[in-house]
Structure 1
Amino acid sequence: MTTTAATRGDRRISPVFLGIAAVTAVAGWAVWTGFAGATGFAVFLFVTGAWIVSLCLHEYAHARTALHSGDLSVGAKGYLTLNPLKYTHALLSIVLPVLFVVMGGIGLPGGAVFIERARIHGRWKHSLISAAGPLTNVAFAIVCTAPFWLDALDGVPLAFQYALAFLAMLQVTAAILNSLPIPGLDGYGVIEPWLSYRIRRQVEPFAPFGLIAVFAILWIPGVNIAFFNGIDALLGVLGVDDVQRYCGYDLYRFWRAFFGEQNPGCAVG
């Protein structure tokens, strides 16, 4: 009886996650209705909340796949509750990704759940565990862009369209960047089981710096321009134009309005 109760508790959705989801929903309603005229702040709360929700789902996907692959320890660690406070690296998993969004409009999940790899047998299982996170971002991106490529935007307020466009951009960048075969990112985790032991040992010391290195490289002007041109092209295929994405990011940085820095071309009312 005790074991069953503990197992259920390990998988019960955390009140912390439910609280974040509730704030996101209320903020989304405020963006849609233009409540109290605080559209920029509402967009900030909505996109940030939805981004954190997607981060939780990203890490949950890793943990859930690991559970079904043989690592039964993920439940006791709280990874199946969707509670961001239970992740191994809260700074890398939540704080830094949110800062990346605020500073550069870049969606990049960090390291998070600790998987006991020794419990899992089979290279394909290890690869699938790593791939589960980026695939979650892909699914999130499809949901965010669906109103655009389904041409279902009639009646949708401009502010909400812009917020969805910016959120979609974050999910697309997260899926692409985190799929790069760079130590510390999920893309490397996908190929790591297929590398020789010698190569894995040589690469291992660099894993903690992979995330920071990618973000630093993206600050190089030429790289940044080329990268976002590619993102704009991909979003264009999905029906989201660069103006919608740009206006979403402009509204997201609501504090710029106090200094008269927001683009008047992105006005929604």
Structure 2
Amino acid sequence: MTTAATRRSDRRISPVFIGIVAVTAVTGWATWTGFAEQPGLAAFLFVTAAWIVSLCLHEYAHARTALHSGDISIGAKGYLTLNPLAYTHALLSIVLPVIFVIMGGIGLPGGAVFIERSRIKGRWRHSLISAAGPLTNVLFAIVCTAPFWLGALDGVPDPFRYALAFLALLQITAAILNFLPVPGLDGYGVIEPWLSHNIRRQVEPFAPFGLLAVFAVLFIPSVNAAFFDAIYWILGGLGIDDVERYCGQNLYRFWGDVNEYCTVDR
């Protein structure tokens, strides 16, 4: 098995990741119980920490799939430890996504881990490696929305429910953006192995600018409205209504104007 080539230390969970998970748990508890004097601050820390956890799992999924597909160099790079500081593009993978969440409430796709593709044989394996990351966001979104579509919200405090709704929105936006067949994004990585060599060679120079192009297009009002209408439609299908989604985003931005409608029980 390919995992036999990795040392146990290469697969040991990083204390950094454990610390992030601990922050998620503590702030989640504070959001649920109302322990903090400012529920918005607790929700902000909870959602941000949980978002970083999802980013780590996203990159881990790429790395783990690559390992089982033949790239035995993955372990030595530290990707299997879930340590966000070990990623080749820590700025793209962690810092920028968090900044975009804080500024605009959108799930920015992270930068991929460095995979030695020459070690991997078979187009399906290459496609699966690229798809593994955004599929993790899909799974994360399903977990966040499960209480909504299962009708298991009895007894769940409003702040925690709103925080889950906003976290689900981030996961869905990240999954959709990542699956776009744009050079530089995972969606293009899924279809790239099936393209001709000439097409791949012509597209390759544009890969570093793919994500920037996507966000430039999203600044077009009509495109932005259509994109978020699709996001809200998906959230509605998963049991999250407009009020829960709106109040979640409002609660997260605790430094702004607080809408009184979101601070009372419905």
Same fold (TM over 0.5): yes
Aligned match of 1:34: 34
Query: Hey, what's the Cα distance between the residues in 1 that align with 2:40 and 2:71?
Result: 43
**Counterpart mapping for 1:115-126 below 5 A:** 115-126=115-126
Whether the aligned pair in 1 keeps the contact of 2:88 and 2:114 (CA below 8 Å) is yes
Query: Hey, what's the Cα distance between the residues in 1 that align with 2:21 and 2:188?
Result: 30
Q: How many Å apart are 1:233 and its aligned residue?
A: 0.8
Residue by residue over 1:182-226, the C-alpha shift from the partner in whole angstroms, topping out at 9 and shown as x without a partner, is 001000000000011111111111111112222222222221111
**Counterpart mapping for 1:240-255 below 5 A:** 240-255=240-255
Is 1:133 the equivalent of 2:133?
yes
Which one of 258, 261, 265 corresponds to residue 261 of structure 2? 265
Instruction: Give the partner amino acid of 1:267.
Output: T
**How many residue pairs align between the two structures?**
262
Aligned match of 1:60: 60
Q: How many Å apart are 1:71 and its aligned residue?
A: 0.1
Q: How many Å apart are 1:6 and its aligned residue?
A: 7.0
Residue by residue over 1:107-159, the C-alpha shift from the partner in whole angstroms, topping out at 9 and shown as x without a partner, is 12221300000000000000000000011011001000000000000000000
Aligned match of 1:165: 165
Return the TM-score normalized by structure 2: 0.96
* SS in structure 2 at match of 1:159: helix
Aligned match of 2:212: 212
Instruction: Give the partner amino acid of 2:107.
Output: G
Structure 1 residues 6 and 175, CA gap change in structure 2 (3 angstroms)? closer
Aligned match of 2:22: 22
Query: Hey, what's the Cα distance between the residues in 2 that align with 1:268 and 1:213?
Result: 41
Whether the aligned pair in 2 keeps the contact of 1:110 and 1:211 (CA below 8 Å) is no
Residue by residue over 1:232-265, the C-alpha shift from the partner in whole angstroms, topping out at 9 and shown as x without a partner, is 1111110001211111111111111xxxx22121
* SS in structure 2 at match of 1:254: coil
* SS in structure 1 at match of 2:250: helix
Aligned match of 2:197: 197
* SS in structure 1 at match of 2:152: coil
Structure 1, unmatched stretches of 5+, are none
Whether the aligned pair in 2 keeps the contact of 1:63 and 1:113 (CA below 8 Å) is yes
Fraction of identical pairs, as percent: 79
Structure 1 residues 189 and 5, CA gap change in structure 2 (3 angstroms)? closer
Residue by residue over 1:8-51, the C-alpha shift from the partner in whole angstroms, topping out at 9 and shown as x without a partner, is 00000000000011001100001001113211111110000000
Query: Hey, what's the Cα distance between the residues in 1 that align with 2:107 and 2:36?
Result: 29
Aligned match of 2:90: 90
* SS in structure 2 at match of 1:255: coil
Instruction: Give the partner amino acid of 2:262.
Output: C
Query: Runs in 1 of length 4+ with deviation above 3 angstroms?
Result: none
Whether the aligned pair in 2 keeps the contact of 1:159 and 1:268 (CA below 8 Å) is no
Structure 1 residues 5 and 210, CA gap change in structure 2 (3 angstroms)? closer
Whether the aligned pair in 2 keeps the contact of 1:88 and 1:113 (CA below 8 Å) is yes
Aligned match of 2:142: 142
